[in-house]
Structure 1
Amino acid sequence: MSSEPASSPAETVQRDVIGLPDEPPTPWRIYEVTSTIALDGIEGKSRLWLPLALHKDTPWQRALGHSWQGNFASAGIYRDPAAEIVVFYGDWNEGISNPQLQITSQIAKRDRHFDITKRGSAAERSDVLRRCLHSSSLVPTDGLVRRTAERAVGRIKDPVAQGKAIYDWVLENTSYDPAQPGIGKGDIEAMLDSGHLSGKSADIALLFVALCRAIGIPARPVFGQRVDVSRLFAGLGATGNLSTAQQCRAEFYTPGYGWIPVNPADVRKAIHDEHLSSNDPRLVVLSKLLFGFWEMNWIAYNSAQDVRLRGSNGRMLPFLAMPEAEAANGRFDSLDTRRFSYTVNASRTEG
């Protein structure tokens, strides 16, 4: 239904992070993202959940609409305002052994920049900030986490500088591990206890979030999906079937500036993929760039943690970044390829 993302000749050639993206304003791009799902080996009634793009418009992302078709008995979208999550659900009656679904979303995107010379951002709601200071099942904020954060920031008092110190500490002390399934487990306490700070994007982003929260800086992960090539490095983009292209980023809040975007996981991924040395000028530029910049070849889904799926009889999820299904014979996700056929394709037009 959709084709692979289109790219201009300049974008096909320009894959070197030394060539920085243009400063804002950057043009909007509209992506049409189509997810096709088929389930197999289902017993009894079944339900499927799929995270959707943020419903709240931002200066860098707008959800333009969704449409779907399939052999479901009922389907729809629900929003959880407290968790700020939007979820598509589909229900199949008993006797449907091959549930099928196709959903298409249109999302407008443009690059996100943080400018330290500009203040005056609108203040965030106090309930949101409180939630972004809480611990969760994967993000503790006391004990070893707090001691690590305090060492990372030292005597720094300015919250922006504290965030940068934590970002730098994460870059220096973690490594990217492509062998992890999905986007990683994100179990921060286990990582710190083991001393082995290796993982994928969720592990690295959630470590940043935990360290910020531990010293009183509101922070949150942002789970999402790559949908296009990257202008920085080839490994930081995705084309074709995007069903395993989920990626987690992070942001932290400071008064006057609002939410500041960071992407430490992609720095570590580029180091791994490109075999960058610590004195490589491309790494120096990338490390500086991804503190305060998100390249928007990626769609943001949600920041929710400890997610209870509506209508589920199963366990709470640490986060929702990929489709989940549940039937009489249990809960399973799209990594279970025996029971889950899942493809995602994206096409792009200029806004």
Structure 2
Amino acid sequence: MTNTNRRNILKLALTAAALPALPGLLRAAPGTPEFSPQPNDWRSFELRTQVRLAPQGATQIWLPVPSVETDYQRTLDHAFTGNATEAALVTDPATGAQMLHARFDPSVSEPVVELVSRFQTRNRTVDWNRTSDVQEDPAVLEAALNGSSLKPLDGVVLERAREITQGAGTDREKVAAIYAWIVNHCYRNMDVPGCGPGDIQATLTTAGLGGKCADLNGLFVGLARASGVPARDIYGVRVAPSAFGYKQLGANSPDVTGAQHCRAEVWLSGLGWVAMDPADVLKVMRAETDNWIKDPAHPLVAPVNAALFGNWEGNWVAYNAASDVTLPGAPADAALPFLMYPQGLNAKGRLNELDAKAFTYEMTAQEI
């Protein structure tokens, strides 16, 4: 990359950082509100996950549970029913990820479990002009600087991070440069199953900068960490349509079985944890219209590009921010790089979480 290109990317990134929204850039469809999440009241939702399996010997199920308590999300309650031999809400002690663990003896004729979670969410916004003395546990920030199984922070990741952030003096400038680089150089690969594997080294090399949210926001997080900025993925699921008319930025029916989405956040001094979602910018560019939009300055994309640098819409619920999750009761080799989908294990082996028909689970959401 030439010095001129680096300066151009950094200039675009700093502009995005200074302007959470771009006034005057309207959607192509007349009368559709501009994408610009604003502070709002709490909204209450119910998320229902039901698993119903054919008998196949001893069976275990793990269902991720919304368990993030912040100023943009809070839990009301969880309940579960079914015919499990044993079932309980459990926590992975190493990562804090919470889940429902259900175990079925071979004698159970048709394993069934249903988890109902009720919670509240609201839009998440940042005021770039206001700072405070907000603090975080040093251990949490240290964890947000470490690599993981799919986020190595050396080799090609470190090289690319140094290249992208050259000339950036502050953490905010580094984050802005990385965000702009993701939007300008990566793309949403529609052929990748689910949310993608999240292997950021592969995204930079064999995958050719293409992927889904776990790949693209995962790459953003990895590049930030390699640049010395605490960052983390947050794994969850969309639960409601976007209030701004973007079909790709919301759940457009009560059936949210395939609506999982990984977001990201970074820690900036004076601001605390700040929302980020360059993957959703790329999703709008690739899939919001029949034509692939390749210019982030396009009127349909520009408001989303500006807003998702620091803000996100509260039509999504977070499960956890955990990497390398251990499933209680599972063999050691069943550890997961992240927990965002239902997981299952029976006499035939691990169930495919990306095949809801074969796994036979359904997820529904409603506002209450």
TM-score by length of 1: 0.90
The structure-2 alpha-carbon separation of the partners of 1:329 and 1:166, relative to structure 1 and needing over 3 Å to count, comes to same
Task: Identify if the C-alpha distance between structure 1 residues 15 and 52 changes in structure 2 by more than 3 Å, giving closer, same or farther.
Answer: farther
2:271 is aligned with 1:253: no
Measure the CA separation in 2 of the matches of 1:112 and 1:194.
34
The residue that corresponds to 1:332 in the other structure is 351
Q: Does 1:113 align with 2:129?
A: no
In the alignment, what sits opposite 1:37?
51
Q: 1-side partners of 2:98 and 2:150: how far apart?
A: 21
2:16 corresponding residue in structure 1: none
What is the aligned counterpart of 2:167 among 142, 150, 155? 155
Give me the whole-angstrom Cα distance separating, in 2, the residues matched to 1:248 and 1:223.
Answer: 4
188-197 vs 173-182, which moves further: 188-197
Aligned-residue CA RMSD (Å): 1.8
Q: What is the match of residue 64 of structure 2?
A: 51
Determine the C-alpha separation between the residues in 2 that align with 1:103 and 1:134.
32
Q: Is the 8 A contact 1:40 1:338 kept in 2?
A: no
Note if 1:309 corresponds to 2:321. no
Partner of 1:141: 153
> Separation in 1 of the partners of 2:302 and 2:260?
25
Instruction: Write out aligned runs for 1:190-339 (5 A).
Output: 190-194=202-206, 196-232=208-244, 233-238=246-251, 239-273=253-287, 274=289, 275-278=292-295, 279-313=297-331, 314-337=333-356, 339=358
Deviations 1:240-291 (A, max 9, x none): 3211110001011122211111011110000011233514123222111000
Distance (Å, rounded) in 1 between the aligned partners of 2:206 and 2:44 = 43
What's the counterpart of residue 83 of structure 2?
71
Is 1:345 paired with 2:359?
Answer: no
| Distance apart, 1:15 and its partner CA | 8.7
Number of residue equivalences: 333
- SS of structure 2 residue aligned to 1:113: coil
Contact 1:250 1:261 in 2 (8 A): yes
SS, match of residue 334 in structure 2: coil
Instruction: Give the TM-score normalised by structure 2.
Output: 0.86
User: How far 1:97 moved relative to its partner?
Assistant: 3.7
Q: What runs of 5+ residues in structure 2 fail to find an aligned partner? A: 1-28
Q: Distance in 2 between matches of 1:95 and 1:285?
A: 55
Gap change, CA 1:32 and 1:337, over 3 Å in 2: closer
TM-fit CA distance, 1:122: 2.4
Q: Go from structure 1 to structure 2 and tell me whether the alpha carbon gap of 1:15 and 1:84 turns closer, same or farther (over 3 Å shift).
A: farther
Offset, 1:323:
0.7
CA separation of 1:204/1:16 partners in 2, compared to 1, >3 Å: closer, same or farther? farther
Give the 3 Å change call, closer, same or farther, for CA 284–41 of structure 1 in structure 2: same
Whole-angstrom CA distance in 1 between matches of 2:34 and 2:109: 52
Does the Cα contact within 8 Å between 2:104 and 2:111 map onto a contact in 1?
yes
Structure 2 Cα separation of the partners of residues 150 and 172 of structure 1: 17
Take 2:196 and 2:97, find their aligned partners in 1: how far apart are those partners? 20
CA separation of 1:15 and 1:327: change in aligned 2, threshold 3 A? farther
Q: Deviations over 1:50-70 (max 9, x none)?
A: 11112x521100011011110
1:118 deviates by 1.6
- The one-letter amino acid paired with 2:345 is E
| Identical residues among aligned pairs (%) | 35
State the alpha-carbon separation in 1 of the partners of residues 231 and 115 from structure 2. Answer: 31
